[in-house]
Amino acid sequence: MTERSAARSRAVGAVQAALRWIRVQEQRLYAWRRIRFTTGGLAFTLGTLAVGFAALNTGNNLLYLLLGAMLGSMVVSGWLSEQAIRGLLVEREPTHPVTVGQDLRITYHVRNTKRRIPSMAVEILEEGLPNAAFVAHAPAMGEARPSSRNRFTRRGTFPLGTVTLSTAFPFGLFRKERDVEIPGEIVVWPRCGRALRPTVHSHGREALAPPSAAGSPGSRGEFRSLRGYRPGDDPRDIHWRSSARLQEPVVREYERDAARTRWICLDVRGRPDEAAEVAVEVAASLAARAAAEGRAFGLAAGDLAVDPGEGPGQLARVLDMLARVDFELDAAEPHPPVSPAGCVLVSIDGAGGFGDTYLVERDARPEPVPGTGAA
């Protein structure tokens, strides 16, 4: 009896676990549906009521036939729109950072889990994004990869969360909607193409000439250690023996000449207004120029800092941090990790002791971005 009871308990537990899994899947696939009338659907419904009242008052068979046809159309429309958004699994493909004013394509992987019924005319909308992706046809047990293009007018990080599946298929009488939670984030970099004067020392001389051409003796500095590969690292720095032993890319790290390293210091004291955005763009442009020259550079902004490096990967890290910088009136004074005399300051109010300073006027405004931006 004891073994039989234990077996029965295990069977009951397995059935309960299966039922819980089914309920979770049903909630994930079919929950949070909403329905609302479109303008045409509301007019059609009022017309159906009017035909119904007329049929009841007159007893005309033609009016009853018309009423039946109209009610049938509403039932079919509601059922087909329900099937269009039912059983769809949606995943947002990873997004890459985008620069202010450039288009970002957001692609979704839509899988139709229904065995016989396709999904057609489904819109995919996201809160905070102005444009929607459109699924023209997702076959039964098939896939689709719709995408939307969005343009951002401000730098920053834009959280993503709720994806709404919406359709008015087939007659446009009702709009059915279902929400799917897909956490994510879009990072919008500041523009880095501003034309700036050459960087100078505090004595007025032009900054050090660009470092020698890549590959020339001594241009890479003294060897310091090995570290893991990061996107943007020079492939010539890969240590092939260590990479083969560890089965992952490993690069050589060098001690850079401190005199050739350009530290960019962004003063974040001030209101988060248009002038602050111009200051961020100036810092980004200085970083882009240093990367183009092949010079090592770092960034300090408030309590944040990016250690010196060079190349496209370093520029991406700097722009990523600049996208997250916040300006505050009570922020601390610029405090770079090295002597201010060897740093380039970007500021609205200015500060003494820095090797060079790029002052931004308080009424400065960034160049307008063409197109429609996202919130």
User: pLDDT of 263-305, one tens digit each?
Assistant: 999 999 888 888 889 999 999 999 999 998 888 899 999 888 8
Q: Note whether residue 7 is domain-resident.
A: no
**Given a cut of 50, is residue 344 above it in pLDDT?**
yes
| pLDDT at 211 (0 to 100) | 41
Considering only 53-62, 258-267, 353-362, which range has the smallest mean pLDDT?
258-267
Q: Are residues 120 and 171 in the same domain?
A: yes
Asked whether the beta carbons of 372 and 130 are under 8 A apart, the reply is: yes
| Residue 371 pLDDT class (50, 70, 90 cuts) | low
Mean pLDDT (whole number) for 134-145: 94
Q: Is the entire prediction scored with pTM above 0.85?
A: no
The residue from 189, 204, 231 where one domain ends is: 189
The residue from 231, 255, 279 where one domain ends is: 255
Q: Note whether residue 13 is domain-resident.
A: no
CATH number at residue 119: 2.60.40.10
User: pLDDT of 193-219, one tens digit each?
Assistant: 888 888 775 444 444 334 433 333 344
Q: Are residues 63 and 185 in the same domain?
A: yes
**Alpha-carbon gap, residue 234 to 220, rounded angstroms:** 11
Q: Note whether residue 70 is domain-resident.
A: yes
Q: Are residues 202 and 293 in the same domain?
A: yes
Q: Are residues 180 and 38 in the same domain?
A: yes
Q: Are residues 90 and 182 in the same domain?
A: yes
Q: Note whether residue 346 is domain-resident.
A: yes
**Total domains present in the chain:** 3
Q: Which of 280, 71, 36, 53 is nearest to 155 (CA)?
A: 280
Q: Note whether residue 18 is domain-resident.
A: no
Q: Are residues 38 and 140 in the same domain?
A: yes
| pLDDT at 220 (0 to 100) | 54
Q: Are residues 44 and 160 in the same domain?
A: yes
Distance (Å) of CA 92 to CA 96, 105, 125, 129, 257: 12, 11, 12, 14, 44
Considering only 132-141, 217-226, 255-264, which range has the smallest mean pLDDT?
217-226
Q: Are residues 199 and 326 in the same domain?
A: yes
Q: Note whether residue 245 is domain-resident.
A: yes
Considering only 162-166, 227-231, 356-360, which range has the smallest mean pLDDT?
227-231
* Domain interval for residue 236: 222-255
Q: Note whether residue 3 is domain-resident.
A: no
Asked whether the beta carbons of 39 and 46 are under 8 A apart, the reply is: no
Considering only 41-45, 83-87, 191-195, 210-214, which range has the smallest mean pLDDT?
210-214
Report residue 37: phi and psi, to 5°.
Answer: -75, 140
**Given a cut of 70, is residue 55 above it in pLDDT?**
yes
Q: Are residues 248 and 262 in the same domain?
A: no
**Alpha-carbon gap, residue 78 to 164, rounded angstroms:** 18
| pLDDT at 214 (0 to 100) | 39
| pLDDT at 370 (0 to 100) | 66
Query: What H or E segment, with its residue span, contains residue 23?
Result: helix 2-30
Q: Note whether residue 142 is domain-resident.
A: yes
Q: Are residues 277 and 344 in the same domain?
A: yes
According to DSSP, the β-strands at 297-301 and 304-309 are antiparallel
Q: Are residues 264 and 249 in the same domain?
A: no
| pLDDT at 50 (0 to 100) | 92
Beta bridge partners of 162: 181
Most confident stretch, 171-175, 257-261, 371-375: 171-175
| pLDDT at 59 (0 to 100) | 85
Asked whether the beta carbons of 162 and 256 are under 8 A apart, the reply is: no
**Given a cut of 60, is residue 372 above it in pLDDT?**
no
Q: Which of 265, 235, 267 is nearest to 250 (CA)?
A: 235
Query: What H or E segment, with its residue span, contains residue 343?
Result: strand 343-347
Distance (Å) of CA 294 to CA 119, 225, 262, 281, 338: 52, 21, 11, 20, 21
Q: Are residues 147 and 200 in the same domain?
A: no
